[in-house]
Amino acid sequence: MKVVVVAGIPGSGSTTVLEHALENLDYEHVNYGDVMLEIGQEKGLVGDRDDMRSLSPDVQKSIQKDAAKSIRERSKQSNIIVDTHCTIKTPTGFLPGLPQWVLDELQPDMFVLVEAFPDEILLRRISDISRTRDVEMTEDIALHQEMNRAASMTYAVLTGATVKIIANHNDQLNTAVKAITEALQIK
Amino acid sequence: MKVVVVAGIPGSGSTTVLEHALENLDYEHVNYGDVMLEIGQEKGLVGDRDDMRSLSPDVQKSIQKDAAKSIRERSKQSNIIVDTHCTIKTPTGFLPGLPQWVLDELQPDMFVLVEAFPDEILLRRISDISRTRDVEMTEDIALHQEMNRAASMTYAVLTGATVKIIANHNDQLNTAVKAITEALQIK
Amino acid sequence: MKVVVVAGIPGSGSTTVLEHALENLDYEHVNYGDVMLEIGQEKGLVGDRDDMRSLSPDVQKSIQKDAAKSIRERSKQSNIIVDTHCTIKTPTGFLPGLPQWVLDELQPDMFVLVEAFPDEILLRRISDISRTRDVEMTEDIALHQEMNRAASMTYAVLTGATVKIIANHNDQLNTAVKAITEALQIK
């Protein structure tokens, strides 16, 4: 069975595209952060998601690896879509969501990056009143998407997986959903 | 002796540039796909090139590794130019032509990417009636070249090789041939 | 303690930004090339910097590794900023400054790329009469910065480090110094 990683920066609409695509797909949907939280809780290390950040980097790394192993394990039963970040924008820079030790355990078959034009993302973020998101200029948004492309290509070289770019432009959600659905249905 | 990998997307003119450059170079020219086919045939696994695709991914991977090992072996006798794809555009996304397990065996010294402007490539593809090629928009062509740059830089970090970008613009074939020839003649 | 790598292409102003930032930071400043030279001299292999290039690639690689190990060792005592090249533009192409075997020893926490607009870099190079630098067109400068971004993202995936991009535009040195200082002060 397949392990597919789907990611997109905030405002790319990756979650929406994924939700619609899952209606027509025989894939189990897994959120990487949720799996990490479950493992942290089972080990008695954390109560809720906020506690995760207070763990030492080594413990976080160990949980991250265990989560990858657990997801790979589940893929023996069904196809898995992992919803995660390609890179996370932090105050110290772009942090890869899938560093080498995660890739070694996860062994994904495909990375999907959901993208949109930077100005589309900017306007979606501004109008999304449900979340407080940092306001970024279009050039910062473009940079984040560029770094995600580079990171995903590195992921692909390390694992032999493919990188599929899905454009999710305004008023073209159906096109994006169709494109991701077709790519995920290929045997 | 050196192992140099030369690649370019369809319409970049990489094959033409390479053929002209080889006239003045002391390099043996090897096509990666041909070497894989020979190995598959020796092992009695395939008859022709089309059979390769029906092999299981694990068998393909094993042949891919053996091909890399065989090419590295030949480089004891002479400088080798390997003609292959940097990434292959497939329905499931960009597939790296040289995943980690190939790089480990091949240990190339240099990657050459032959590029052109996306609109040059678009027009060359349209006028190339000898092949049926998928029609791609210039932005898709630009994306493929961008992903090849990222992939080749990953290849370089994993092996310590260099990445040389050669521009092959319309009516400037001689410039491209001269540039690749000079780069390949450096000791 | 942290190991941070700071790089920027010639004319990016990375050295100037770094010098100013170091005034307010509790970091020891180390130049990668200097450490390699010291190690080469201790081993009696070289007299001065020019001798380094005449060493065989294997010996250079071994010194490069030892330098990384030595810098990682020093980081037990204090935070370290390593001043080096992300990729070096050579006649055979872009050579990664931190190939895998260096990353394995160095285990950096953060990569900082200091950038500017290609035309700013072009004009800074032309007016810098203290050095003879190859004249490059703005598109070559843009390409070098693009390859550095891709290389640094590969470094990050292999090590789990972050990549911070710092813009150092004309007349905005203070902004660049402030940005790098803040990123380096995060615990």
For residues C141-156, average pLDDT: 98
Task: Please write the tens of the pLDDT for every residue from C129-143.
Answer: 666 666 789 999 999
Q: How far is CA B176 from CA B5, B19, B38, B63, C35, in A?
A: 16, 12, 31, 33, 38
Q: Is residue C78 a contact partner of residue C2, using CB atoms and an 8 Å limit?
A: no
**C164 to chain B nearest CA, in Å?**
18
Q: What is the residue whose two structure tokens read 């560029």?
A: A146
DSSP letter for each residue of C132-179: ------HHHHHHHHHHHHHHHHHHHHHH--EEEEEE--TT-HHHHHHH
Per domain, the residue ranges of chain C are: 3-31+77-185
pLDDT of residue B53: 82
pLDDT of residue A135: 76
Q: Is residue A17 a contact partner of residue A180, using CB atoms and an 8 Å limit?
A: yes
Letter string b/e over residues B34-56, b meaning 16 or more CB atoms within 10 A of that residue's CB: ebbbebbeeeebbeeeeebeeee
Least Cα distance to B76 among B28, B5, B18 occurs for B28
CA atoms within 13 A on the CB side of C32: 24
10 Å Cβ neighbour count for A124?
Answer: 17
The answer to whether the CB atoms of A154 and C157 lie below 8 A apart is yes
For residues C146-172, average pLDDT: 98
Q: How far apart are CA B107 and CA B101, in angstroms?
A: 10
Q: How far apart are CA A30 and CA A62, in angstroms?
A: 19
pLDDT of residue A167: 98
For residues C133-154, average pLDDT: 93
**B157, B165, B183 member nearest C154 (Cβ):** B157
For residues C55-84, average pLDDT: 94
ipTM: 0.94
Q: Is residue A112 a contact partner of residue A6, using CB atoms and an 8 Å limit?
A: yes
Q: Kindly report the average pLDDT of chain C as a whole number.
A: 94
pLDDT of residue B54: 86
Q: Is residue B83 a contact partner of residue B31, using CB atoms and an 8 Å limit?
A: yes
Which residues of chain A are within 8 Å of residue B99 when distances are taken between CB atoms?
156-160
pLDDT at residue C165 greater than cutoff 90: yes
The answer to whether the CB atoms of C93 and B160 lie below 8 A apart is no
The answer to whether the CB atoms of C94 and B160 lie below 8 A apart is no
B3-31+77-185: CATH class: alpha beta
Q: Which residues of chain B have pLDDT under 50?
A: none
Q: Which residues of chain A have pLDDT under 50?
A: none
Task: Please write the tens of the pLDDT for every residue from C71-92.
Answer: 999 999 999 999 999 999 999 9
The answer to whether the CB atoms of B92 and A156 lie below 8 A apart is no
Residue of chain B nearest A154, judged by CA positions: B154
pLDDT of residue A54: 86
In chain B, which residues touch A (CB < 8 A)? 61, 87, 90-96, 98-101, 103, 143, 146-147, 150-151, 153-155, 158
pLDDT of residue A134: 66
Angle (CA) A110 A165 C162, round 5°: 75
Q: How far apart are CA B64 and CA B76, in angstroms?
A: 20
* pTM summary value: 0.95
Angle separating helix axes A118-127 and A138-159, nearest 10 degrees: 110
The answer to whether the CB atoms of C162 and A100 lie below 8 A apart is no
